[in-house]
Each structure stands twice: as C-alpha cells, then as structure tokens.
A = this chain, B = another copy of it.
Amino acid sequence: MAAVEGDDSATTGGSTLGYALLSLLTRGPATGYQLTQQVKAPLGHFWTARHSQIYPELARLAAAGWVDSVEQAGPGPRAKKTYAVTPAGLAALRAWLVIPPTAQPRSEITLKAYAATSADPTAMAALYTDLADRSTRLLAEYEHDAARMRAVGQDDPTHPRFGNYAVLMMGVESQRAVHRWARWLASCLRTGRPAAYGETAD
C-alpha cells in the first residue's frame, strides 16, 4: 500500500531496471517470481535481470509509490506479493520513455574480432561459423514467434502487447546483421583473403 505523504518519486529518479519492471507490469499485475520469468523473452534478448536484482528493485519502486502490492499466503516461509503499477508509476514510465537513450552497446564477440589476427585463424573461423549457425537458429525461432504474433494481430501498434512484437523485430534485424557479419568474417579468416559482402553464399 505504501501511503507515503511526501512524493519521493520526484527526487528518486528511477533506474533503468525500475522502468523495465514498470514496462512488464503494464501487461498486468505480477509477482517478483513471475517478473523473473517474463523478463526472459522477448525482452531478455535485449535486457536481462536476475531475481536477486528484481526483488530489491520492486521494494524501491513500492517505496517511491510507483507500484503497490497485495500479499497472499505463499508456499515458502514468506508472503507472496503481487505488484501492480500505480498512476504515479505509469506517469513516470511515460516520462522516461520519450527521453532519448545514450547508453552504448557492448558486444564481446565484436571485441574478440578486434583481436582476430592475434588468434589461431582456424579456431577463430570456427568461432564465427558457430556464431553464424546460432544466429540462423535464433532467426528461425524469432521469425516463427513473429508469425504467431501477426496471426493474432499483435503487429498492430494499438495492440496492448505490440511492444513484444517490436522487440522481436529488433531481434530479427539483429540476428540477420550478426549472421551476415559472422559469415563474412569466417570466410575471411578461413581463406586468409579479403571477402566482399554477398560473396559468402548461404
């Protein structure tokens, strides 16, 4: 319930994780455990969080008045808490959404490519061949999910779960990009000579 008098939410400018949880809760009320499951897909392709990070963050959101919770008797020693977004929480989320993000991407596989010439070419080529294979599998999986979503009209921006579709489409684009790049790089390292894009047949 958290009936606080002073509005902390103005001073407490939430963390990115906090907004991620609010986004998940706009789909409907959930427990910390359920949020841990829901963050896995499709959001998990571009954002992850463990339960050990989620539970304290939910407590902070509740203290700020951005979510409230109802307690039921839980299976374990502690009570089970179901969280829901408050109007203040939704307002905070809406304000955050339209701020242009600045965070740089971090890609370990690209970092390894930077030092490609220091490694054994055969082993390195295998690494990028495996990556290309993995992206093929992921792409098939994502496109299958996307087709299912289109079938139920989730590609319509007025659908309440349109965001799931948008994230999935980013997954499709990303994996296509990774696939082309990894195939090209593997080809370069395998042959020891420059390869042009498109030269690497599928």
- Residues in A lying within 8 Å of B, measured CB to CB: 16, 19-20, 22-23, 26, 42-48, 90, 93-94, 96-98, 100-121, 123-124, 126-127, 130-131, 150, 155-160, 162-164, 166-167, 169-170, 173-174, 176-178, 180-181, 184-185, 188-189, 191-194
- Please determine whether A107 and B176 come into contact, CB atoms closer than 8 angstroms: no
Give bound CA distance, A94 to B111, whole Å.
Answer: 13
* Complex A-B, nearest 4 residue pairs according to Cβ-Cβ distance, in ascending order: A23-B115, A101-B108, A173-B177, A97-B119
Tally of this chain's copies: 2
Closest to A176 in B: B177
With A20-B111, A105-B107, A108-B103 as contacts: A117 and B188 at CB distance below 8 Å: no
User: Shortest CB–CB separation between residue A188 and chain B, in angstroms?
Assistant: 4
- Please determine whether A105 and B106 come into contact, CB atoms closer than 8 angstroms: yes
- Please determine whether B166 and A114 come into contact, CB atoms closer than 8 angstroms: yes
With A48-B104, A106-B106, A177-B176 as contacts: A189 and B157 at CB distance below 8 Å: yes
User: Shortest CB–CB separation between residue A108 and chain B, in angstroms?
Assistant: 4
Choose one: B114, B116, B155, B166; the contact of A113 (CB below 8 Å): B166
- Please determine whether A107 and B163 come into contact, CB atoms closer than 8 angstroms: no
User: Shortest CB–CB separation between residue A125 and chain B, in angstroms?
Assistant: 10
Choose one: B26, B109, B174, B191; the contact of A118 (CB below 8 Å): B26
- Please determine whether B111 and A93 come into contact, CB atoms closer than 8 angstroms: no
- Please determine whether B163 and A104 come into contact, CB atoms closer than 8 angstroms: no
User: Shortest CB–CB separation between residue A159 and chain B, in angstroms?
Assistant: 7
Give bound CA distance, A191 to B97, whole Å.
Answer: 19
- Please determine whether A101 and B97 come into contact, CB atoms closer than 8 angstroms: no
- Please determine whether A47 and B127 come into contact, CB atoms closer than 8 angstroms: no
With A98-B123, A194-B156 as contacts: A16 and B117 at CB distance below 8 Å: no
Residues of chain B within 8 A of A162, CB atoms compared? 116-117, 188
